[in-house]
Amino acid sequence: MGLISLSHGSGGRLTRELIREVFLKELGNEFLHPLTDSAILNISGPRLAFTTDSYVVDPIFFPGGDIGRLSVFGTVNDISVMGARPLSLSLGLIIEEGFALEDLRRIVHSIKVSCEEAGVKVVTGDTKVVERGKGDGIFINTSGIGVLEDGIDLSTGRIEEGDVIIVSGTVGDHGAAIMAKRQDLGFDLEIESDCAPLNHLIGKVLSLGEAIRFMRDPTRGGLAGVLAEIAEDGVEMEVREVDVPIREEVQGFCEILGIDPLYLACEGRVVIVSARKGAEEVLKRLRSHPLGRGASLIGEVIGKGKGGVYLKTAYGTRRVLQLPAEYNLPRIC
Amino acid sequence: MGLISLSHGSGGRLTRELIREVFLKELGNEFLHPLTDSAILNISGPRLAFTTDSYVVDPIFFPGGDIGRLSVFGTVNDISVMGARPLSLSLGLIIEEGFALEDLRRIVHSIKVSCEEAGVKVVTGDTKVVERGKGDGIFINTSGIGVLEDGIDLSTGRIEEGDVIIVSGTVGDHGAAIMAKRQDLGFDLEIESDCAPLNHLIGKVLSLGEAIRFMRDPTRGGLAGVLAEIAEDGVEMEVREVDVPIREEVQGFCEILGIDPLYLACEGRVVIVSARKGAEEVLKRLRSHPLGRGASLIGEVIGKGKGGVYLKTAYGTRRVLQLPAEYNLPRIC
């Protein structure tokens, strides 16, 4: 039939067939193949980064990506912004009864390709199936492990007055792509998600050492969300609106809907707080990588103590950027 | 108000409030508190066990446990049966809009208590909220990391003819508890889940070294499922039905419904394949622990090559135990 049934999640023979024919076929590797309860990994470094994220994005296929791609890169990026090198992922699926097996295959294949792109492996997994109407197609959890080299310690606590704020490319692409796909705007607007793995790009600047204070990928809440979080730790910043790179089509889309692109999620961008001395080198290295071509210096740290984010608008005015109570964009990732 | 809203999952201020007031209050520790994208862990051993499981159990509260307890112990046990010492958990929640905040608090508290019982910590987490009707109350993913000491290598490949099969206690309690709670049988039948952390119990026998060949916790598919999986790796076994410990109320429940308790899930039992020499010591050590009091030697490995499981019934007959296509028990864990 080609539909997922409750039996596929029951742990019986059909579950094992699904694992073999769909998962192992695409994702098989020496760690995953034994199908034991845990993967056994040899880890070189003494410090590990460990993270988890559930992906409930709606729709599951969108321009520039899909839930599988997102679930690999989202977790790879959460590890990468800690300065760690992502190695291994877990993959936990919650599938709704009646989900098309063809779509599952497509997603698993996308996970395979994305893992190759990022240089990571799925080493352990789990599949559950819930009754029709008790889920929504497919939800994916990926947890990830990365190795953190000695001497790397990125945190808001290391940010100093005079530091600069850099973003690696245009902001809001992912959020706009999802929203545009969801809404029928009555005209053709092709916005692609920026969904991409950041580990290789971040690797290019990590070796600059002390100059790199802090990194974060602006997902839910967008650039504004990341800045507001840094501000919560007592950092005062000024950001110049005109210097924030925004795609023309994203800007246009936001103007039509009356939303602020600074709050829209990215899935392939990193915000870096860097020492001013060294910022030119950071920009140069970012721009030498395909994912960092649009890197831009967007603002400065103007003080510490009572945190805050000030936006210098294109009209020369200055307004406070807030972390809103909500983003009105459920299921963006 | 006391209900979860989509805003709680949006990544905005309400998300952060929920994290602080519900999660950090209960689960706060030095790894989780920074609320960074990944937890940073210091790991002593060179080999890690890494596992993931999503919990979709229905109902979420049941005699002997709840989805929180299950999500901690299930993952702790998956690590423990590899011979590894569980250390750190991730916690990924997918909550349906409208879920009672009170229930969430109760579950998070249960997670806290369960972590203390097992001696593990939640070090990283994620919360997503989906629209009403697109989920079912709450789904929980936990991934876990454990350290595997040098020299420990448990696998079906180490099983030899003449080895014995031991189960640490009564089987089918969890499955029967969930089914009894789901069905209205018209009379009072109090069956408690066996939901428990196995790491301390397993620790008692792990030091026996080579005698311990293989371990597995019989969750989905029950004891029969574990035996059928071992058989798939070419191990031939004979199990004596009369020696398999089953609670009277579970046996009675199964007779009423016409189901086989050997296929019912356990959540606090371990199946151990041990060398015959040493089996007495394994039983003695298991029985010295509260969770292993009902430990029983239930069968033998009678050959290798073409695998199979033969059940010697109470009537002296011999039948083949199969891994069924499905277990007809969706959402047991």
Given this model, what pLDDT does residue A222 score? 92
Report, as ranges of residue numbers, the positions in chain A whose pLDDT lies below 50: none
The pLDDT, as a whole number, for residue B300 is: 98
Domain residue ranges of chain B, discontinuous segments joined by +:
36-148, 156-320
B272-308 burial string, b = 16+ CB within 10 Å, else e? bbbbeebbeebbebbbebebbebbbbbbbbeeeeebb
Produce one character per residue of A100-136: b if its CB has 16 or more CB atoms within 10 Å, e if not: ebebbbebbbbbbebbebbebbbbbbbbbbbeeebbb
Cross-chain Cβ contact A326/B13 below 8 Å = yes
pLDDT at B126 > cutoff 60: yes
* Per-residue confidence (pLDDT) for residue B25, from 0 to 100: 83
Q: Which residue of B has its CA nearest to A41?
A: B48
State the CATH class of domain A36-148.
alpha beta
How much is the pLDDT for B96? 94
Cα separation, A314 vs B224, whole angstroms? 69
| C-alpha dihedral, A120 to A126 to A131 to A133, nearest 10° | -30
Hey, of B13, B29, B50, B60, which one would you mutate to test binding to chain A, going by the most A CBs within 10 A of its CB? B50
Instruction: Kindly report, residue by residue over B286-330, the tens digit of the pLDDT.
Output: 999 999 999 999 999 999 999 999 999 989 899 998 877 776 677
Q: Which residues of B touch A40 (CB under 8 A)?
A: 47-50, 82, 84, 148
Given this model, what pLDDT does residue B78 score? 94
Does this complex have an ipTM over 0.90? yes
Contact B56 A128 (CB under 8 A): yes
Helix (H) or strand (E) holding B177: helix B173-182
Amino acid identity for residue A3 in this structure: L
- Residue A328 is predicted with a pLDDT of 63
- Between CA A296 and CA B155 the distance in angstroms is 53
Q: What is the per-residue pLDDT for A183?
A: 81
Pairwise pLDDT comparison (A12 vs B97), residue with the higher score = B97
Residue B10 distance to chain A (closest CA, Å): 6
Predicted confidence (pLDDT) per residue in B137-169, tens digit: 999 999 999 998 888 889 999 999 999 999 999
pTM: 0.93
Question: Is the domain defined by A156-320 classed in CATH 3.20.20.370?
Answer: no
Q: Determine contact, residues B217/B269, Cβ cutoff 8 Å.
A: yes
Residue A182 CA to residue A180 CA, distance in Å, equals 5
Query: Which of A312-326, B117-131, B244-258 is the least confident region?
Result: A312-326
Model confidence at B186, pLDDT cuts 50, 70, 90, reads low
Residue indicated by tokens 């607007």: A189
The secondary structure of residue B20, as a DSSP letter, is I
Interchain proximity A47–B42, CB inside 8 Å: yes
β-strands B85-96, B121-130 pairing: parallel
User: In this predicted structure, what is the pLDDT of residue B40?
Assistant: 72
B152 touches chain A (CB under 8 A): no
- Per-residue three-class SS string for B264-306: CCCCCCCEEEECCCCHHHHHHHHHCCHHHCCCEEEEEEEEECC
Q: Which of A35, A40, A71, A95 to mutate to test the interface with B (most CBs of B within 10 A)?
A: A40
